[in-house]
A and B are shown apart, each in its own frame.
Chain A
Amino acid sequence: MNKIIGIDCSPKVEAAVSDMLGGKCDIQFERFHDEMNFNGYQMIILEMGANQEYVSQQIRKLRYACNFKNIPIILIHDSEKDISSQPYMIAGVTEVLSLYDPLPACKQILSGYLIPNREPLVEELEYLKPFIKNTCHILKTMAAIDVEFKEVYFSNAIRIFGDVSGIMGLSGNVEGTIVVTFYWDMAKTIVAKMMGTEEGAVDAELIHDGVSEIINMISGTTKKEFVDSQYYFEITLPSVVVGPGHQIGHLQDTSVSALIFQVGNQSFALHVCIRPKNSQVNVRRGA
Chain B
Amino acid sequence: MHIKGYILLINREKKFLETVHKSLLDAGYSVLTATTMSSAVNLLSNNTVALVICDSELNDFSGYDLLRFIKNNPQLEKIPFMFFVPVHDQGNAGKAFKWGATDFIVYPLDGKILIERIGAILSPQDGEAKISISPKEDNREHISPPVNAASPVQKERRENDRIVPKDSINVEVSRDAILWLPGQIKNISKQGFLMETPLLGRPGMFLYIRVQLPNGKCVLESQVRHVSISNHQLLAEIGVEIGASIAWTEVYNYIIDLIDTGKNPVAERLSVSGKIPDIKTISAEKAQPETETIVVIKNNETIYTPPSQPNFNEPPNGKALEIRFYHSLVGKQLGNYKAVSFIGAGAMGGVFKGWDIILERNVALKIISYKLSSIDSFREMFVKEARLVSQLSHPNIAQIYYIDQSDDVFYFAMELISGGTLKDMIKGGSTLNSAKGLEYLVTICRTLDFVSGKNIIHRDIKPENIMIGDDGTLKVVDFGVAVVNDGKNKKGKSENLVGSPYYVSPDCIKGLPLDSRSDIYSLGATFYHFFAGVPPFEGENVEDVLLKHLNEDLVPLKMKNSAVSNWLSDIIAKMMAKNPDDRYQHYKDIIADLDLLMH
**CB closest chain-A residue, reference B388:** A287
**CB closest chain-B residue, reference A246:** B198
Q: How large is the interface on B (under 10, 10 to 19, 20 to 34, 35 or more residues)?
A: 35 or more
The answer to whether the Cβ of A241 comes within 8 Å of any Cβ in the partner chain is yes
- CB contact between B399 and one of A118, A281, A287 (< 8 Å): that residue: A287
- By a CB distance below 8 angstroms, the chain A residues around B477 are 284-287
A209 to B203, CA, bound (A): 11
- By a CB distance below 8 angstroms, the chain A residues around B157 are none
Interface core residue of A107, A159, A249 (most chain B CB under 10 Å): A249
The answer to whether the Cβ of B581 comes within 8 Å of any Cβ in the partner chain is no
The answer to whether the Cβ of A112 comes within 8 Å of any Cβ in the partner chain is yes
Q: Is the CB of A251 within 8 A of B409?
A: no
Taking the closest CB of chain B, its distance from the CB of A88, in whole angstroms, is 11
**CB closest chain-A residue, reference B424:** A282
The stretch that binds B, out of A8-16, A128-136, A139-147, A148-156, is A148-156
A221 to B87, CA, bound (A): 32
**CB closest chain-B residue, reference A153:** B331
Q: Is the CB of A154 within 8 A of B478?
A: no
- CB contact between A286 and one of B178, B346, B364 (< 8 Å): that residue: B364
The answer to whether the Cβ of A105 comes within 8 Å of any Cβ in the partner chain is yes
- CB contact between B176 and one of A204, A237, A247 (< 8 Å): that residue: A237
Which A residues from 195 to 254 make CB contacts under 8 A with B?
A: 200-201, 203-205, 207-209, 236-254
The answer to whether the Cβ of A34 comes within 8 Å of any Cβ in the partner chain is no
Contacts known (A157-B327, A252-B298, A286-B400); A108 close to B408, Cβ less than 8 A: yes
The answer to whether the Cβ of A101 comes within 8 Å of any Cβ in the partner chain is yes
- By a CB distance below 8 angstroms, the chain A residues around B179 are 167, 169, 177, 236, 239
The stretch that binds A, out of B118-126, B412-420, B536-544, is B412-420
A74 to B75, CA, bound (A): 60
**CB closest chain-B residue, reference A94:** B328
The answer to whether the Cβ of B181 comes within 8 Å of any Cβ in the partner chain is yes
The answer to whether the Cβ of A86 comes within 8 Å of any Cβ in the partner chain is yes
Q: Is the CB of B421 within 8 A of A287?
A: no
The answer to whether the Cβ of B310 comes within 8 Å of any Cβ in the partner chain is yes
Contact with A along B379-417 (1 / 0, CB 8 A): 000000100010000000111100000111100101111
Taking the closest CB of chain A, its distance from the CB of B422, in whole angstroms, is 11
Q: Is the CB of A253 within 8 A of B341?
A: yes
Q: Is the CB of B108 within 8 A of A203?
A: yes
Q: Is the CB of B325 within 8 A of A248?
A: no
A101 to B198, CA, bound (A): 34
Contacts known (A118-B338, A243-B235, A246-B306); A283 close to B321, Cβ less than 8 A: no
Q: Is the CB of A249 within 8 A of B364?
A: no
- By a CB distance below 8 angstroms, the chain B residues around A113 are 328
The stretch that binds A, out of B95-103, B226-234, B498-506, B553-561, is B226-234
Interface core residue of A111, A119, A163 (most chain B CB under 10 Å): A111
Q: Is the CB of A284 within 8 A of B351?
A: yes
Interface core residue of B108, B176, B232, B353 (most chain A CB under 10 Å): B232
The answer to whether the Cβ of A82 comes within 8 Å of any Cβ in the partner chain is yes
The answer to whether the Cβ of A36 comes within 8 Å of any Cβ in the partner chain is no
Q: Is the CB of B198 within 8 A of A287?
A: no
Contacts known (A203-B110, A241-B181, A242-B198); A249 close to B417, Cβ less than 8 A: no
Q: Is the CB of A280 within 8 A of B333?
A: no
A119 to B340, CA, bound (A): 10
Which B residues from 572 to 590 make CB contacts under 8 A with A?
A: none
Contacts known (A101-B321, A115-B407, A200-B112); A283 close to B417, Cβ less than 8 A: yes
A156 to B178, CA, bound (A): 19
Q: Is the CB of A184 within 8 A of B232?
A: yes
Q: Is the CB of B371 within 8 A of A105?
A: yes
Q: Is the CB of B303 within 8 A of A105?
A: no
- CB contact between A115 and one of B300, B333, B397 (< 8 Å): that residue: B333
Q: Is the CB of A283 within 8 A of B370?
A: no
- CB contact between A105 and one of B277, B321, B340 (< 8 Å): that residue: B321
The answer to whether the Cβ of A114 comes within 8 Å of any Cβ in the partner chain is yes
Would you list 26 pairs from A and B whose C-beta atoms are within 8 A, ordered by A residue? A102-B321, A104-B371, A108-B409, A115-B406, A118-B340, A119-B333, A119-B338, A121-B340, A121-B355, A154-B340, A163-B232, A169-B176, A205-B108, A236-B179, A241-B200, A241-B304, A242-B198, A242-B229, A248-B304, A251-B299, A252-B297, A253-B341, A253-B343, A283-B416, A286-B475, A287-B366
Query: A157-B327, A239-B199 given. 14 additional CB < 8 A pairs?
Result: A102-B371, A111-B408, A112-B329, A167-B179, A207-B200, A208-B227, A242-B198, A242-B232, A249-B302, A285-B351, A287-B397, A287-B400, A287-B412, A287-B414
